[in-house]
Amino acid sequence: MSALPYLDGETLRELVPMARAVQVLQDALRGGLDPEDTPSRPIVEVPAGQLLLMPAAWGRHAGIKIAGVAPANPSLGLPRIQGAYLLMDGETLAPLAMMDGVALTSLRTPAVSALAVRHLAEPGASTMAVFGTGPQAWGHVEAFRAVRPVSRVNVIARDPAKARAFAARCAAEGLQVATVADPGQADLIACCTTARTPLFDGRLTRDDATVIAVGSHEPDAREIDDDLVARATVVVEARGAALAEAGDLIIPLRNGTITIGHLAGNLGELVAGTVPRRPGPRVFKSVGMAWEDLVVAAAAYEAWIRAR
């Protein structure tokens, strides 16, 4: 058996730039992909953190990501999320390619967020606040710029040195930038942290702001508070996944602050234009799903085949 092609991070980004990733995700949802059909992922606790097994099938392809979440990795100079992706033929399940799972995650997660922003946020949204300074934080700056005219970024981080370095990176891309203590009056707020408790007072969020929370996938961890969730039009990737993993919503449900009926819709319904809007902020809560990896991985592979 010949060796499988391996698409590393640089190759993935060349084959599927951020704007393209946003578009292929939207095309899949408009083409009939139902996020609710994605199998739930097992999460296995191990000494170093967690192992996640993420299979999916759609169209001409199937695939699986094996991901590791190792909280101590940043202190070792390594990404917190590790992993590898195997893309397969959808009919025969024959392996087609291996891909860098870290790079794939760093691409598809911001792209999913940007797709939600495309359909939730005000068209003129230009000011962004980002919590965090890691790969996901940077990916969300890039992704939001692909769908909205972002010209200013407010950086919020616990480590002042990392905040300054991140701000300098934004400035080098021509953005106005500041390091601040809270999101203030930002049009767009991206929560990209490992926090287990709310990052800011949701009562202060503007009624026309859009908040994206991607940092947690555990029932007892959250980045946004009850007040924000209760005021907001809340959209999730899939109801089943959110109700199993999204502490940002499970905790307010447990507290009685909201009911399941408060969830306005999933990402497929948002793209289809069937999500009702309530007064107040818009919230998109993401836990990361296998269908997203598959759609972006398949687009990368097809682009690689065309380029050969």
Q: What is the pLDDT of residues 228-244, one digit of tens each?
A: 999 999 999 999 999 99
128, 279, 132, 287: which is closest to 211 by C-alpha? 128
CATH of domain 6-105+291-307: 3.30.1780.10
- Tokens representing residue 40 in the block: 């739930």
Domain ranges of the chain: 6-105+291-307, 109-289
pTM: 0.95
Q: What is the pLDDT of residues 4-38, one digit of tens each?
A: 999 999 999 999 999 999 999 999 999 999 999 99
Confidence of residue 184 (pLDDT cuts 50, 70, 90): confident
Tell whether the model's pLDDT for residue 1 goes beyond 70.
Answer: no
pLDDT value for 2: 66
Confidence of residue 43 (pLDDT cuts 50, 70, 90): confident
* 109-289 shares the fold of 6-105+291-307: no
pLDDT value for 40: 85
Asked if 164 and 184 count as a contact pair (C-beta separation under 8 A), the reply is no
> Between the CA atoms of 170, 175, 179 and 185, what dihedral angle is there, to the nearest 10 degrees?
-130
Return mean pLDDT, the chain: 95
Q: CATH homologous superfamily for 109-289? A: NAD(P)-binding Rossmann-like Domain (3.40.50.720)
- Which secondary structure element, helix H or strand E, spans residue 85, and what is its range? strand 81-89
Tell whether the model's pLDDT for residue 50 goes beyond 60.
Answer: yes
Query: What are the angstrom distances between the C-alpha of 98 and each of 94, 105, 205?
Result: 12, 14, 42
pLDDT value for 39: 87
Tell whether the model's pLDDT for residue 78 goes beyond 90.
Answer: no
Tell whether the model's pLDDT for residue 217 goes beyond 60.
Answer: yes
pLDDT value for 247: 96
